[in-house]
Structure formats: C-alpha cells, structure tokens
C-alpha cells in the first residue's frame, strides 16, 4: 500500500473466498434454472449471477420467463442447497492459513443473507473468527456492484475507505470495491476467470495462503 494508506481493515467476501461454495451453488443453480425452463451453462451462470444477491437472481429469472414468481418460489429447492452444503462445504484452500497471517482487523461483507453467511461460516469452523463482524447485502439499499455494502462495513468498523482492502472472487465484487475507493484483491482460484477480475487498484491472485504476503503482512509463526 502507498505511504499513508496502511491497511486497517481487510474485508472478505464469503462465498468463494472464505467458503468453497461457488462450485456447489452454481451446479444447483443450474438445476433450479433448468427446472424453471432456463438452460444455462456453468460459465453463463458465473458471468450473470456470482457475487450478486438472491433478489437479483430472482429478478433475472422473472425477466427471462416474462412473469412474476411466487413469494415462496425457492422453497422446493432449498433442500438441494442445504444437503450439498452440509455434505460438502469446506473452507477455501489456504484461507485458514491466510487468516492466521493477517495482523489487522477483518470482517465479512457478503451478498448472502445473514442466515446464509452464518450457516456457511459455522459449517466450516470460521463463525467464531468473524462473530460480530458480519455484514450482509440485507443491511444496505443496493448490493454489489454498488459500493454500499463495503462502505457500510468500513463505517461500522470505524475505518476510512482508503485504509480498507477487499478480498473478492467475482467481477461484481471487485467492481464494488473499486467504486468504494478500496483496493481489491481478486481471487482467481475458483470459478471466475482471472481476466474478469483485472482492473484498476486490483491485484489478481490464485493462492489464498499467500494473501498475507500480498498484503505486506508477515506470516504467523
């Protein structure tokens, strides 16, 4: 970081950054969309939806179908996600080591609901690490790629935007970080191609365990 811009807060996305959920979710999203009559490839789903809110997902489906969905439209599919997460959800490779090596304030700011974020962190043993420092798109007016969520997290932690960095794995997430005036670190070790993350004030990387070094922090001993 440039002189005068020491890192005081590292803001983590959840899905695909802390928990290795995107591969599970996207496959189930594909099944759900097919059930509704919309056939999309995994790459198309990643491009359209990864990093966005559930409300955006619903709105896009309604736009494609040309009709509104019932309020409980997701109910028949919830067990698909729940069973997959309880069976297979794991931390992103290298994230536990990375968290041990970061010597400043950390928090989570995710497009998921508070309930979803907490469940994912609990299943992977990270809930205690982030307890009291979890922020959701439910907390703000506009989700990613708007900057609202990251600015809200920074405000709640009492840190100016220029002293925050954001760890993201989606193109919408890095766009939101840039819009917030925060430096982005785009993790390309998951489903999102590195080329989708490249941009101003963004460092793209593929090994999560090396994140403390990228941030200029000495690894823990």
Pick the CATH number of 9-20+90-214 from 3.10.105.10, 3.30.565.10, 3.40.50.1000, 2.30.130.10: 3.40.50.1000
DSSP helix/strand/coil, 71? coil
CATH 3.40.50.1000 placement within the chain: 9-20+90-214
How far CA 161 is from CA of 43, 145, 181, in Å, comes to: 32, 16, 6
Q: Which residues pair with 174 in a beta bridge?
A: none
Output the DSSP codes for 158-187: T--GGGEEEEESSHHHHHHHHHTT-EEEEE
Tally of CB atoms within 10 A around 200: 8
Catalytic pick among 13, 20, 29, 148: 13
Can you tell me the distance from the alpha carbon of 163 to that of 4, in angstroms, rounded to the nearest whole number? 9
Can you tell me the distance from the alpha carbon of 48 to that of 42, in angstroms, rounded to the nearest whole number? 10
Pick the CATH number of 22-87 from 2.60.120.200, 3.10.580.10, 2.60.40.790, 1.10.150.240: 1.10.150.240
Strand residue runs (E) in the chain: 9-12, 105-110, 134-136, 164-168, 183-187, 202-205
Q: Mind listing the pLDDT tens digit of every residue in the chain (221 residues)?
A: 443 468 999 999 999 999 999 888 889 999 999 999 999 998 899 889 887 888 889 999 999 999 999 999 999 999 999 998 999 999 999 999 999 999 999 999 999 999 999 999 999 999 999 999 999 999 999 999 999 999 999 999 999 999 999 999 999 999 999 999 999 999 999 888 899 999 999 999 999 999 999 999 854 44
Q: Which pair of tokens denotes residue 6?
A: 């020491």
13 catalytic per annotation: yes
Q: Quick one: pLDDT at residue 5? A: 62
How far from the centroid of its chain's Cα atoms is residue 55's Cα? 15
Q: Which pair of tokens denotes residue 144?
A: 């990613």
Q: Quick one: pLDDT at residue 53? A: 81
148 catalytic per annotation: no
Can you tell me the distance from the alpha carbon of 7 to that of 167, in angstroms, rounded to the nearest whole number? 13
Q: From edge to edge, which strands make up the β-sheet containing 183-187?
A: 134-136, 105-110, 9-12, 164-168, 183-187, 202-205
CATH 1.10.150.240 placement within the chain: 22-87
pTM of the predicted structure, to 2 decimals: 0.84
Q: Quick one: pLDDT at residue 220? A: 43
For 202, which DSSP code?
E
Q: Quick one: pLDDT at residue 95? A: 98
Can you tell me the distance from the alpha carbon of 117 to that of 160, in angstroms, rounded to the nearest whole number? 24
Can you tell me the distance from the alpha carbon of 50 to that of 60, in angstroms, rounded to the nearest whole number? 13
């Amino acid at each position: 970081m440039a002189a005068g811009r020491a890192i005081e807060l590292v803001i983590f996305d959840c899905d695909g950054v802390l928990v290795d959920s995107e591969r599970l979710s996207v496959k189930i999203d594909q099944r759900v969309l097919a059930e509704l009559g919309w056939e999309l490839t995994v790459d198309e789903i990643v491009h359209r939806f990864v990093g966005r809110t559930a409300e955006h997902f619903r709105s896009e489906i309604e736009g494609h179908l040309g009709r509104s969905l019932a309020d409980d439209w997701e109910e028949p599919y919830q067990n698909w996600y729940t069973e997959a997460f309880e069976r297979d959800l794991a931390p992103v490779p290298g994230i536990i080591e990375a968290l041990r090596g970061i010597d400043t304030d950390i928090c989570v700011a995710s497009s998921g609901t508070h309930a979803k974020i907490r469940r994912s962190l609990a299943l992977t043993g990270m809930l205690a690490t982030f307890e009291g420092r979890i922020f959701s798109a439910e907390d703000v007016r506009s989700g990613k790629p708007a900057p609202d969520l990251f600015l809200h997290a920074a405000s709640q932690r009492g840190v100016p935007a220029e002293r925050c960095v954001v760890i993201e794995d989606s193109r919408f997430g890095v766009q939101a970080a840039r819009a917030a005036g925060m430096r982005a670190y785009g993790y390309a070790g998951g489903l999102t191609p590195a080329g989708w993350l490249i941009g101003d004030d963004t460092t793209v990387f593929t090994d999560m365990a090396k994140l403390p070094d990228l941030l200029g922090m000495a690894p823990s001993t």
